[in-house]
Amino acid sequence: MSNTIGKMFRVTTWGESHGPAMGAVVDGCPAGLDLSVEEIRRELSRDVPDRRIGTGRREENAAEILSGIFEGRTIGTPISILIPNGDAKSCRYEPLRQTPRPGHADYTWRVKYGHVDWRGGSRASGRECISRVAAGAIARKLLGLAGVSVGSRIVELAGMVVEDDKGLEAAVARAIELANLGESSGGRVRVVVSGLPAGLGEPVFGKLSAELGAALLGIGAVKSIDIGAGRGHAAMTGSESNDAILVEDGRLTFGSNTAGGVLGGISTGMDLVATISVKPTPSISLPQQSVDLSTGKPKTIEVKGRFDRNITPRVAVVAESMAALVLADHMIRSGFIHGSRLELSPLLYKK
């Protein structure tokens, strides 16, 4: 298991979907940052799935902070966040105990660990991401001080390209339609980070694009990532792909951003743009072919109960959080935010 991410701003997560709680330990947040548990809870409430294409399950996000804060400000010690799990019923998973669900991690976890918690995905559940979102709230707060913000939007849903609110409505309708057929659907999310200084990223193996890529590809259900124009680059010519370098108001800038804010793995100062694709949630109501591991014989399974039918909106929140974690880490590694105490960060205000 590798449940820690980051070099200077480090996050460790723990918890299973049907265990007593989920949690995160954030180590390396500088002292002196105003932080209240409400800010974390607010971010977690974004993680509640969209009611129309999600489960309607009420998440009880009663997050608590157990360490690292004194008199309303961080003190440089690890910030431990605990989020109790509600009383999820696990009995519906009982029939799946010996039968891995297609598209889920049931089989690979069983092979790797032998003894597993077979109830509802356990640590491979989407529920695991709540720890990431909680930690991400702290990263976002820190980035905000430095003028860096992280946002996202859905650019494709249930097979339909989404360009505006109207397009999103149509795509949601399509996702609901599929859900009513017992099917699930996927989508694509674009994450955009604004306000970054140029100079973040550590060639040749700690490039910003590589670490952001790992963070986003490490989210369950994410199957691809494009940086800037991404795959589109493959069909361009050099003169289409190269962003012209300009001077504007005495400052260097670029005429376009096909690079997506990264050149040579280092931030250019333009928006950092990454687009990920989300596979359909594997939980569908239709019968599927699998194997009973106790007998070694084929077995048809039907997954019952209510499930998210499209987790793209939820993944968007997680993707923003992961981007925030990676960038907070790099802002500290590159000296734009001081690792121990905010007061000592002279670079913070003068990029």
Binding residues for a second copy restricted to 145-184, rule: CB under 8 A: 156, 159, 178, 183-184
Which of 89/223 has CB closer to a second copy? 223
Beta bridge partners of 85: none
Give the tokens for residue 335.
Answer: 């000296």
DSSP track, 106-154: HHHHHHHHSS---STTGGGSGGGHHHHHHHHHHHHHHHHHTT-EEEEEE
φ, ψ for residue 305, nearest 5 deg: 95, -175
Q: Which of 51, 94, 166, 238 is close enough to bind a second copy by CB under 8 A?
A: 238
How far is it between the farthest Cα atoms of the chain?
73
Q: Which of 43, 47, 211, 329 is close enough to bind a second copy by CB under 8 A?
A: 211
The distance of closest approach from Cβ of residue 215 to a second copy in the complex, given in angstroms and rounded to an integer, is: 7
Which of 44/227 has CB closer to a second copy? 227
- Spatial distance between the Cα atoms of 193 and 241, rounded to a whole number of angstroms: 21
Interface with a second copy includes 20 (CB under 8 A)? yes
- Mark the segment that binds a second copy (CB under 8 A) among 44-52, 78-86, 143-151, 163-171: 78-86
First to last CA, the chain: 38
The distance of closest approach from Cβ of residue 107 to a second copy in the complex, given in angstroms and rounded to an integer, is: 7
Per this entry, what is the length of the chain? Answer: 351
Interface with a second copy includes 347 (CB under 8 A)? yes
Q: Which of 27, 39, 59, 271 is close enough to bind a second copy by CB under 8 A?
A: 27
DSSP structure class, residue 58: P
- Spatial distance between the Cα atoms of 311 and 49, rounded to a whole number of angstroms: 7
Number of residues located near a second copy, criterion CB under 8 A: 151
Interface with a second copy includes 313 (CB under 8 A)? no
Give the tokens for residue 310.
Answer: 């499209």
Q: How far is C-alpha 164 from the chain's CA centre? A: 22
- Mark the segment that binds a second copy (CB under 8 A) among 42-50, 55-63, 142-150, 256-264: 256-264
DSSP structure class, residue 34: B
Q: Segment 273-302, which members bind a second copy (CB under 8 A)?
A: 277-284, 286, 288-291, 293, 296-298
Interface with a second copy includes 42 (CB under 8 A)? no
- Mark the segment that binds a second copy (CB under 8 A) among 44-52, 55-63, 145-153, 340-348: 340-348
Which of 43/280 has CB closer to a second copy? 280
Interface with a second copy includes 98 (CB under 8 A)? no
Q: Is 221 left (phi over 0), alpha (psi -120 to 50) or beta?
A: left
Q: Which of 35, 44, 53, 82 is close enough to bind a second copy by CB under 8 A?
A: 82
Which of 44/189 has CB closer to a second copy? 189
* 128 Cβ contact partners less than 8 Å away, ≥ 6 residues apart: 13, 15, 16, 17, 22, 220
Give the tokens for residue 182.
Answer: 């017992």
- Mark the segment that binds a second copy (CB under 8 A) among 41-49, 53-61, 136-144, 223-231: 223-231
Distances (CA, A) of 309 to 52, 162, 284: 9, 18, 8
Q: Segment 51-70, which members bind a second copy (CB under 8 A)?
A: 66-68, 70
Interface with a second copy includes 235 (CB under 8 A)? yes
- Spatial distance between the Cα atoms of 328 and 334, rounded to a whole number of angstroms: 10
The distance of closest approach from Cβ of residue 140 to a second copy in the complex, given in angstroms and rounded to an integer, is: 19
Interface with a second copy includes 321 (CB under 8 A)? no
Interface with a second copy includes 10 (CB under 8 A)? yes
* 224 Cβ contact partners less than 8 Å away, ≥ 6 residues apart: 276, 277
